[in-house]
Amino acid sequence: MRRHEFQPGRLLAGLVLTAAGVLYLLDAAGETDLPWFLVVPMAFGGLALAALVGLVTYAVRRDRRDRIREPRDQ
Question: With 0-12 CB in 10 A as exposed, 13-18 as middle and 19+ as buried, what is 31?
Answer: exposed
Residue pair 34/27 in contact by the 8 Å Cβ criterion:
yes
- DSSP states of 44-68 as a string? HHHHHHHHHHHHHHHHHHHHHHHHH
pLDDT at 9 over 90: yes
pTM of the full predicted structure? Answer: 0.76
User: How does pLDDT run across 20-72, given as a tens digit for each residue?
Assistant: 999 989 999 998 888 878 888 999 999 999 999 999 999 988 877 777 776 65
Per-residue pLDDT, 74: 54
Question: With 0-12 CB in 10 A as exposed, 13-18 as middle and 19+ as buried, what is 29?
Answer: exposed
